[in-house]
Structure 1
Amino acid sequence: MKNILKLLILVVLLPVAACDDLLEPAIENNRGLEAMYEEPSYAQGILANAYILLPYSGTPNSDLATDDAVSNDNSNSYLAMATGSWTSETNPVSQWQGRRNAIQYINLFLENVDQVVWSKDEVISSMYNDKLKGEAYGLRAIQLYYLLLAHGGWTSGGELLGVPNLTASENTSSDFNVPRNTFQECIDQIMSDADEAIDLLPLDFGDISSSEIPAKYVSLGVTNSSDYNRVFGNLMRGRLTGRIVEAVRAQAALLAASPAYSAGTTVSWEDAANYAATVLDRIGGVSGLAANGNTWYVNTSEIASLAAGANPAEIIWRSDVSQSNTLEADNFPPSQYGDGRVNPTQNLVDAFPMLNGYPIDDANSGYDENNPYANRDPRLSDYIVVNGSTQGPNSDVITTGTYGTNNDAINRESGYSTRTGYYLRKLLRYDCNPNPNYDTQQKHYTARIRYTEIFLNYAEAANEAWGPTGNGGHTYSAYDVIKAIRERAGIGTANNDAYLESVKGDKEQMRELIRNERRLELCFENKRFWDLRRWKVSLGDLNETAAGVQIDQTNGTLSYTPVNVELRTYKDYMYYGPIPYGEVQKWSNLQQNAGW
């Protein structure tokens, strides 16, 4: 990926923002596309724009519009969306422009790639052509998947539509007034592009010996590993691979099989489980679950030792490592020189079970409402700063109760204090210090796709397809996956996870447990907003009020009072995002989703 970034410094060919420039280079950029044929760096620059436009975010954005978190920033667009301002004109989760821009670059590249002279050596040129073409197909699958996630939906006529499926570049003579393809047609395109990418790309980039050269290239005359490694070796790590595309395919299949979409697609839960299993079988199934994968963001020695493009055991794809303390400055409590922006809710805190594995509302849990953070799932303290805890091992105690003496306390007028009684810990490094006198920064990366997500994809789909303990011919079941994830978290280890054992014979109960585990493991990673919608939860659940806790102290005794913090005002059509208002106004053939 560093190679891509270096390339982009040299080659920024087609501006992203201006539609005219996207279709045809502006006058001052007076080199035509044909120039790419003899200049590989020019050609790669076009494809590199699709990497620049990848949709992944390393900050909790859409989580702020769910029951998991609120923001203390009154101008936050996700706060506005969740409280009644989500429209087809004002849509902070829109993917329309960015994804379509990326697809335009990809289509331009695919239409010209076969004419590029990647190397004067024809065999090496052929390998470069395969690699880059494979990346392009895989990137198009990603971009289309995110378009479906944000804009696929049912029309007022009862048809499940996706987006216009553009597989050819547009120019000034193109017909832009095209209808949306069906959701199924878009899923078919994703699967087709994924298959093309998987066929052309190696499973992973990395240096190999001469005896490991794929037969395809041996037949072309490649006998020297240095020639192969020049194209597919370590220097290419960080770019799209076959393994990553397999994971994207599993994500798309899960979306299509989900309740919100299944009536309009042919993708089954069994299909979704099998696609996820393809990814998981490569690491040995549940035995490959990374022991420290649930704290990937703060595994400091692991992060420090990451070689360029290499991945920890938990990560399928990640961004480059960067040195910063921006997340910490945004989200540490005020006493730690942060703005405290993301405030986890009481709703999320209550979703963490007890150490014995039972939900807190179960009679067997041992939950004490007067000591609510005792004997809880260790992930609670990994992910959330609660009253009386610290941001890090060397920081001061954070007091969020009303008796606090600084702006860490709930609802202080500073504008930086918590609204819920909680601060964020997940994604943050405790060894950063935003204090301007020190400004200590540390290494971070965005986990684009984690193995834990694919494990949870499999568990969800396998439970629906074969029940909690069925495996469809694989060596592990939904039950096996959830047991491994909970064991890794350290819950239920003293009683053989009696709660899990009590629900493993019931698909509905297991479904709720799987969804809750997904909520906990993937919190603050921009998953829940979309999960709630693809599950088609009840409107009441979609509008569950974001809650917090007021902690008072009287004569040294703490009392905990639940408080409502922020109402959610989603309408019954808001399971599916809108097509942008301006696009529907411009193009008569572009149907809007129902309700918008």
Structure 2
Amino acid sequence: MKLNINNFKINSAALLVCTALIFGGCKKALDLQPLDSYTEKDVWTDPKLAQVFVNNIYNQAVLAYQDGGFGWGAQTDELYGNFNWTNENLYVRGEATPDNQTSGSLNHWNKMYASIRYSNIFFANIEKVAGAEVAVNTMKGEVHFLRALAYFELLKRFGGVPLIQKVYDVNDRTFNEKRATWTETKDFILADLAEALKTLPAVYPNDPDKGRATVGAAMALKSRLLLYAASPYFNKSNDRKLWEDAKLAAKAVIDFTGVKYALYGNAGNRTYNKTFLDFFNPEIIFSRVYSGLVQADRYNTVSRDLSPNGYNGYSAYNVVQQMVDDFEMADGTKFSWNNPEQAKNPYLNREPRFYETILANNQQFKGRLTGFFEGGDDSPQSPYSPWNASKTRYCVRKMVDETHDWNIQDYDATQWAVFRLSEIYLNYAEACSALGEDGEALTYLNKIRTEKAGLPVVSGAGAALMEKIRHERRIELCFEGHRYFDIRRWGIAEIGSEDAKGVVIRKQSNGTFTYEIMTVQERTWVPSFYYYPIPRTEIQKNPGIVQNPNYN
């Protein structure tokens, strides 16, 4: 097998631009070995080439933007997908089956198992690399983490899955790998993370290595996994031990001394989006960064993709009205359309994160006021690419770099936060609340509210406090890929399938606006959608796999 590594940065997993460089073979080139191509033997005798092999596993396992967040949000009460980029409409319309899981969807069964296969190839060969013990041990830690991440991506989509450690090759004609249980899959992931923690560094000394897996990344994945395991849908008996495990895993990240993570960016002083735009800031535990050197469409074009049509943007993901309405008022009270004053001007005196997260009508953006009202520059009646207008009349502002001019170049360097400290604080608060440790839960909930949101503190206990923590996750972590899985692990997935709402805005002669709620997309809830279907083609190849419940 020839391994082509042309155009890929050997020493950087931070600048991961999607290529087919190392995992694709070309039969026409088998008799040739150009200067930019290497044999399999070459790779496993040179630590730098082995690192390139590892770098490409990141490409498979570490998901971002539409794959890591927006596509999931468009299957919930967060977003409407304007162009169905990830085939989310199959789910929101109740039409997903084992037969229509295309490569463009978020199913990713094949993609994650490709990552696992190359991880297993790595482990089968890495001992051949001699004379670079430190580098080899670090790579082992990276690949244990990446394989754990790939299995976690499978677990949250499908439940328990086959746990493959063998490297299948062309001589293998039959497959009869059985599905492990949810708990067995969880334990396999934990075992990989335990191995990763033995050899991963807390930090990398060289800037080009930022973006590679660290101790903090492995601990953060463990925190998320154990929170899922403790949650009501997977913990029917409400086993306190599972909540204790989740609490301790989150606190381990918070107390980690190898790196001092800290909250970064506060909506109260309009620095909230620095959390996403300032690369490798103190809140970021693990992120995927895309270079601004070449276009990676829909990944380093995110500012263009999310912005309104009147700015030559795509409005690719539209915030639904239910999400808009859940942002609090500036004083911490709930917004209500039944309040005449609030209904008259629904975007006035909202909490600071509202203005950093959502782009609504008549807001300052890139030098002018937005015009989502009927006939406005950012409306479906606009003369500027009306086909790209937001159907809900809202766009995503979170993660958008307003200083970038995508009319000159539509791509720029971008960062997707895979794990950040705000999530860990909320993981910890949720586990503490479940254990009845209300004071500790409130401490970390209010850190988010005061240090990230610019909001007053809250009080509460018991079920009321848990509801406030869930609300805070909805707001603080919106569009980051959490909501879809949160409402499933809480056992309330159907609330994400309410019809997607938007608003019709009309400008009056005196300059004021009127608002009328409308339905943008009718949605259908199907109980089997707690899990994705396993593609039928995979079951045909491996009869040992049992399909998820209620899929034909």
Q: Is 1:4–2:6 an aligned residue pair? A: no
Amino acid at match of 1:593: N
Asked whether 1:373 is paired with 2:347, we answer yes
- In the alignment, structure 2 segments of 5+ residues that lack a partner are 1-8
Pairwise CA distance, 1:105: 0.9
**CA distance in 2: counterparts of 1:317 and 1:181, whole angstroms:** 28
CA offsets per residue over residues 540-582 of structure 1, 9 Å max, x none? x132111111122444342222111112212011111111111
Amino acid at match of 1:137: H
Aligned equivalents of 1:68, 1:42: Cα separation in 2: 42
Closer/same/farther in 2, CA of residues 114 and 382 from structure 1, 3 Å limit:
same
Conserved in 2, the CA contact under 8 Å of 1:151 and 1:163? yes
Correspondence 1:359 to 2:368: no
Question: How far apart, in 2, do the equivalents of 1:319 and 1:9 lie?
Answer: 12
Q: How many residues align structurally?
A: 521
Pair 1:200-2:173 in alignment: no
Which residue does 1:577 correspond to in 2?
A: 532
SS in 1 for 2:487: helix
Code of the aligned partner of 1:466: G
CA distance in 1, matches of 2:242, 2:276: 41
Tell me if 1:281 matches 2:234. Answer: no
User: What is the one-letter code of the residue matched to 2:115?
Assistant: A
Separation in 1 of the partners of 2:271 and 2:381?
29
Query: How far off its partner does 1:301 sit?
Result: 12
Change over 3 Å in CA distance of 1:280–1:27 after alignment to 2 = farther
Q: Distance between the aligned counterparts of 1:181 and 1:329, measured in 2?
A: 42
Matching residue of 1:487: 450
Partner of 1:548: 502
1:73 — aligned with what? 83
Measure the CA separation in 1 of the matches of 2:19 and 2:309.
41
Q: Distance in 1 between matches of 2:276 and 2:428?
A: 30
Q: Assess if the C-alpha contact under 8 Å between 1:286 and 1:484 holds in 2.
A: no
What is the CA–CA distance in structure 1 between the aligned matches of 2:538 and 2:410, rounded to whole Å? 45
Cα displacement (A) at 1:410: 7.1
CA distance change for structure 1 residues 528 and 81 in 2, over 3 Å: closer, same or farther? Answer: same
Contact 1:545–1:566 (Cα < 8 Å) also in 2: yes
Distance 1:81 1:439, change over 3 A: same
Pick the structure with greater CA Rg: 1
For the 8 Å contact 1:73–1:341, the answer to whether it is kept is: yes
Aligned sequence identity (%) = 28
| Alignment partner of 1:87 is 2:60 | no
Equivalent pair of 1:357/1:491 in contact (CA under 8 Å): no
Task: Give SS of 1:374's match.
Answer: coil
Measured against aligned partners, the alpha-carbon deviations of 1:357-398 in whole angstroms (never above 9, x if no partner) come to 1122499x9962111111111111111111111223xx2211
Q: CA deviation at 1:353?
A: 0.5
Q: Are 2:10 and 2:48, in contact at CA under 8 Å, matched by a contact in 1?
A: no
Check whether the contact 1:11–1:45 (CA below 8 A) recurs between aligned residues.
Answer: no
Deviation at 1:49, TM superposition (A): 2.5
What amino acid is aligned across from residue 168 of structure 1 in structure 2?
A: K
CA contact (8 A) 1:410 1:420 kept: no
Equivalent of 1:147 in 151, 154, 162: 154
Q: Which residue, 205, 223, 247 being the options, matches 2:220?
A: 247
TM-superposed deviation, 1:65: 1.5
**CA distance in 2 between partners of 1:440 and 1:164 (Å):** 41
Other structure's SS at 1:163 match: coil
After superposition, what is the alpha-carbon deviation per residue over 1:82-111, rounded to whole angstroms, capped at 9, x for unaligned?
123322233322121111111111111112
- Aligned with residue 328 of structure 1, among 300, 303, 322: 303
> How much is the aligned-residue C-alpha RMSD, in angstroms?
3.4
Distance (Å, rounded) in 2 between the aligned partners of 1:163 and 1:408: 45
- Aligned partners of 2:127 and 2:236: how far apart in 1? 40
Change (3 A) 1:416 1:512: same
Q: When the two structures are superposed, what TM-score results if normalisation uses the length of structure 2?
A: 0.85
Per-residue CA deviation, residues 198-254 of structure 1 (Å, 9 max, x unaligned), is: 111222222xxxxxxxxxxxxxxxxxxxxxxxxxx6554322111111111111111
Q: What SS does the corresponding residue of 1:320 show, helix, strand or coil?
A: strand
Match of 1:220 in 2: none
The corresponding residue for 1:155 is none
Q: Report how far residue 189 of structure 1 moved.
A: 0.9
Shift of the 297–381 alpha-carbon distance from structure 1 to 2, 3 Å rule, reads: closer
Shift in CA distance, 516/362, structure 1 to aligned 2, threshold 3 Å: farther
- Per-residue CA distance 1:391-436 (angstroms, 9 max, x = gap): 23xx22112122x34353579993211211212211111112233x
Sort the Cα spacing of 1:419 and 1:114 in 2 relative to 1 into closer, same or farther, 3 A: same
How many Å apart are 1:300 and its aligned residue? Answer: 9.7
Aligned residue for 2:545?
590
* Contact residue 410 and residue 421 of structure 1 kept, 8 A: no
The 3 A distance-change label for structure 1 pair 296 and 192 is farther
Q: Distance in 2 between matches of 1:9 and 1:368?
A: 46
1:312 Cα offset (Å): 0.4
Q: 276-285 or 522-531: which moved more?
A: 276-285
* Alpha-carbon displacement from aligned partner over 1:148-187 (angstroms, at most 9, x marks no partner): 01111xxxxxxxxx11111222223445221111111111
Q: 2:523 aligns with which of 561, 568, 574?
A: 568
Partner of 1:466: 436
Alignment match of 1:107 (pick from 120, 126, 129): 120
Q: Write the distance in 1 (CA, Å) between the matches of 2:276 and 2:483.
A: 29
- Equivalent in 403, 406, 412 of residue 377 of structure 2: 406
Distance 1:400 1:14, change over 3 A: closer
The equivalent of 2:61 in structure 1 is 54
Q: Which residue of 2 aligns with 1:261?
A: 234
Inter-partner Cα distance in structure 1 for 2:178 and 2:378:
53
Counterpart Cα distance in 2 of 1:416 and 1:595: 37
Alpha-carbon displacement from aligned partner over 1:12-49 (angstroms, at most 9, x marks no partner): 44328x9xx9xxx9787897644444333343333232
Q: Deviations over 1:439-474 (max 9, x none)?
A: 4765422222111111111112221123422xxxxx
1:163 maps to amino acid: V
The residue that corresponds to 2:5 in the other structure is none
Counterpart of 1:73, as a letter, is: F
